[in-house]
Amino acid sequence: MYYYQFHIGDYRADTAHLSNDEDLAYRRLLDMYYDLEKPIPTDTEWVSRRLRLDTDVVLRVLKDFFLLQENGWFHGRCDEVITQYHSMAEKNRENGKRGGRPKKTQWDTDGNQLDTDSQPDGKATNNQEPITNNHKPITNVKSNRGTQLPKDWVPSIDEIEYCKLNRPDLDWKVVSDSFRDYWIAQPGAKGRKTDWFATWRNWVRNQRRYDTYTNAKDKSRREAMEVLTGKRNYDESIIDLN
């Protein structure tokens, strides 16, 4: 691929925790992924030399945003964009074989069909611009308005693995329950997100261990809230970075 769309707001929300070096590494890793149209090689030293960055910086970013498998570091959103790109290119090739896009027609006031395009309006191209958010691993492309979290939402394998790798002190089942309950209850625009995986990562990063307390006063306050609400409050605060 020679081109991909870059959504500034989504990117900033997803990378606010990165240092300058890490931010640069993530941008260059995205460029490499789209350019090669395949996962990032597991030879991190080789990758780092080509990105002209320190190996430890590149490795931190890979662990944060990519999923390591046997044949490379995978990125769900990049894979989706590449698949859409080739699907659109194939459609354009098929249209080209048939003489271009189908002609548009209109009808006059007497019900007669009018041919508005006497010639095909352009040649098919392999460089169709994909319409998508470019860097977040969600299975379907969403509109800029975002969507509500489904009431039957359960974490994906990638989301579970992210929690296990980055917050081994947490129980992912408990975290996912609180995540689902909180976001399903949010009304209107606040409850709509364009990238739920990014929201999940922010949620996981901002969780405190649910079995620890800062002091005796904090413990008493939490226990009192549990009595009043009838359920245990696992996180002290909700930080929404999206």
pLDDT tens readout for residues 71-128: 899 998 888 888 888 888 777 787 777 766 656 555 555 556 555 544 555 454 555 5
> Tens of pLDDT along 28-51?
999 999 998 999 999 999 999 999
d(CA 223, CA 230): 10
Between 145 and 124, whose confidence is greater? 145
Distances (CA, A) of 47 to 37, 64, 98: 15, 16, 43
Angle, helices 157-166 vs 196-205, to 10°: value is 20
How high is the pLDDT of residue 110?
A: 58
Q: Band the pLDDT of 153: cuts 50, 70, 90.
A: very high
- Share above pLDDT 90 across residues of the chain, in percent, rounded to a whole number: 40
17: nearest Cα among 214, 232, 198: 198
Nearest to 165 by CA among 64, 15, 74, 58: 64
- Dihedral of CA 97/5/186/196: which sign? positive
**Higher-confidence position of 138 and 56:** 56
The pLDDT value recorded for residue 116 is: 52
202-239 per-residue burial string, b: 16 or more CB within 10 A, e: under 16: bbbebbeebeebeeeeeeeebeeeeeeeeeeebbeeee
Taking CA atoms, 80 is separated from 33, 37, 54, 88, in Å, by: 12, 11, 28, 12
pLDDT at 128: 53
pLDDT of residue 213: 44
pLDDT of residue 239: 47
Q: What distance in Å separates the CA atoms of residue 38 and residue 79, rounded to the nearest whole number?
A: 8
- CA dist., res. 107 & res. 130, Å (int): 32
Dihedral, CA of residue 26, residue 30, residue 35 and residue 39, to nearest 10: 100
Per the prediction, the chain carries an average pLDDT of 78
Q: Is the pTM of this model over 0.85?
A: no
